[in-house]
Structure 1
Amino acid sequence: MNAALSDDKTGQALNTQRFQMLEDIAKELSGDLIFPTHFDITLRLRDLLRDSDASVQQISAAVSVEPLISSKLISVANSALYDRGGPPVRDVKGAIQRLGMRVVRSTAFGVAMKQLLLAKEVADFGDLSQRLWQHSIGSAAACTVIARHFKRFKEDEAMLAGLVHDLGASYMLYRASQYDELRARPETARYLIWKWHESIGESLLHALGLPEEIAAASRDHDHPRPIPEAPRTLADVVFVGNLMAGGHFEWLNKDFDAADVKKAELGEPYASMQDEVTACTKELQAVFG
């Protein structure tokens, strides 16, 4: 176990709050999830996108009540990722028509995740939350590029899987901010996230109603296993994309040497994709900020 992660876990009040947070999350996963209010529009939009009879006008109206999501959709539609040389998109309806429903969903989740991680409630975990957000963007970019090279996967689905694969960590960080003892001891929050974020994340994605393949792709993504020469499942895409973005080292352990070693172990064909991943990461950073 990493020495930094084993520190700062003593004291009765602290232990009580550690167990209380995990118990509270378990209850929430079987009932009503507690998200900040800016997640509400994302969840409503998720339900609307499930409705095969929903029109572009209905979805556009739902998106338009949230200016941040609206502006991001237009930015995505005009980005190098989706601009195919047509006239610039100037409104939400045009963005939805260009992007399609899956990209609308991915963008909405991206906006909500960024707000979740950078909300004032998690200010005591500022360094960790910033790293986690940047890692999520890098993973989304890497998964997008892998899907582009291996044609069996949809790029937009791979991007969403990469973006939300650490949603369990994001959610745990937000929940930890609501406990005084955990806010005062951020290393303990790191420890809890390190131990539980994968299983909580998979359950959370199921509870949010994301497709089974995306929820399953978050399972054990930080656990070492052989690197596939060619990904066979979306879980393989996320596993490799996570490594290409630095793995758990980058945002949790701050062990950049270890992250570089893991990236070097990837070899071909992934090594030759790195420039493309870097460009895609910059594009997503420009869109989401």
Structure 2
Amino acid sequence: MDRLAAFQHIAAQASRGELTFPSNVSASIKLQQALNDPDCHSEAAVKLIQADPLLSARAVAIANSVAYNRSGNEITNVRSAVQRLGVRTLQSLVAALIVRQIGSQITDPGLRAKAAQLWQHTAHVAALAQVIARRVTRVDPDTALFAGIVHEVAGFYMLSQAGAYPGIMDGEPEDWVEHGEVAIGRGVFAKLVIPEAVQASVEALWHGMRALPPETLGDTLLLANDLAPIPSPLHERPGATTPQAARTIDFVVGEGTLHDIMAESADEVKSLFAVLML
């Protein structure tokens, strides 16, 4: 099977919902669904997070990050972390866990290296999107963080399947974009029950239609993608700027500029990125 036929085969399977996930992803999806329940109150969320030691540690860490701990009061337990973060930020932490679990079944060293770089890129985009949403576009920052975390989930799924198709990720990256990313992405989003607004923002990223100054969640994600210091190892987005050109992006925001805001928010971005990399 040649590369294009392999992309189309995996994409067709994804479109039909025939997805292959590691066994631990199912448990994480159930946790995500429980947190999505409108009747899930903070005490229930505490019990759900406490049941997973890794999530417990990450919840406390992100609650103590610069982005969420502006008072400087450090907390040391899950209950306080849930109260500070809220359920929606916890959903982002679970989404980050799911994305990394999807990539955990990769054994090929070359593919693992791509997955590691893809997660670094993802963590940068998510951290930048949260700050850009709060300081620039004024869209919901929790939704922006979540969108940043899941925006490359199609790539992680593709890498997790690539071992069965030797050489599929070699060659021109445009082949993956044209013949696999959208169909696979939509299939994975459906399986993970990703909200429609988040799906729409990621599709805006796929098509590369960013406005300056940015206004929407999709614009937020595109700007964060352009500003991320680590690029995706899979492809360059249509219309994406080079790393050098990204540093020159600037525009007026209120009484300041994008450059001013990003300089002021550097510690927040760094702190969020560090937590997501745990």
Q: Same fold (TM over 0.5)?
A: yes
Which residue, 222, 226, 233 being the options, matches 1:251?
233
Is 1:286 aligned with 2:269?
no
Which residue, 36, 47, 57 being the options, matches 2:43?
57
Which residue, 192, 200, 214 being the options, matches 1:216?
200
Note if contact 2:154-2:181 (Cα within 8 Å) is conserved in structure 1. yes
- Once the two structures are TM-superposed, the CA of residue 158 in structure 1 deviates from its matched residue by 0.9
CA RMSD, aligned part only?
3.0
For 2:132, the aligned partner's letter is I
In 2, distance between residues paired with 1:88 and 1:65? 22
- Once the two structures are TM-superposed, the CA of residue 159 in structure 1 deviates from its matched residue by 1.0
- Which residue in 1 is equivalent to 2:185? 201
For 1:221, the aligned partner's letter is L
Note if contact 1:74-1:89 (Cα within 8 Å) is conserved in structure 2. yes
Is 1:95 aligned with 2:77?
no
Higher relative contact order (CA 8 A, sep 6+): 2
For 2:234, the aligned partner's letter is L
Is 1:110 aligned with 2:96?
yes
- Once the two structures are TM-superposed, the CA of residue 188 in structure 1 deviates from its matched residue by 4.6
For 2:224, the aligned partner's letter is G
Distance 1:180 1:230, change over 3 A: closer
Q: Secondary structure at the match of 2:233?
A: helix
For 2:146, the aligned partner's letter is L
Where structure 1 has 5 or more consecutive residues not aligned to the other structure, the ranges are 1-12
1:149-201 per-residue CA deviation (whole Å, 9 max, x = no partner) reads 23631111111111211111111111213x1424xx64159555333324432
Which residue, 143, 166, 175 being the options, matches 1:181?
166
Distance 1:198 1:280, change over 3 A: farther
Deviates more, 1:123-132 or 1:192-201: 192-201
Q: Secondary structure at the match of 2:170?
A: helix
Q: Which has the higher helix share?
A: 1
Q: Secondary structure at the match of 1:266?
A: coil
Aligned 1:113-192 pairs, distance under 5 A: 113-117=99-103, 119-121=105-107, 123-150=109-136, 152-177=138-163, 179-182=164-167, 186-188=169-171, 190=173, 192=175
- Once the two structures are TM-superposed, the CA of residue 263 in structure 1 deviates from its matched residue by 0.6
Q: Secondary structure at the match of 1:61?
A: helix
In 2, distance between residues paired with 1:20 and 1:149? 42
- Once the two structures are TM-superposed, the CA of residue 229 in structure 1 deviates from its matched residue by 1.5
- Which residue in 2 is equivalent to 1:5? none
Number of equivalenced pairs: 269
In 1, distance between residues paired with 2:115 and 2:16? 26
- Once the two structures are TM-superposed, the CA of residue 117 in structure 1 deviates from its matched residue by 3.3
Identical counterparts, % of pairs: 25
For 1:101, the aligned partner's letter is V
1:221-264 per-residue CA deviation (whole Å, 9 max, x = no partner) reads 15444532131x211111111111158x5533589xx6224414
- Once the two structures are TM-superposed, the CA of residue 266 in structure 1 deviates from its matched residue by 2.4
- Which residue in 1 is equivalent to 2:27? 41
In 2, distance between residues paired with 1:209 and 1:64? 23
In 1, distance between residues paired with 2:65 and 2:245? 31
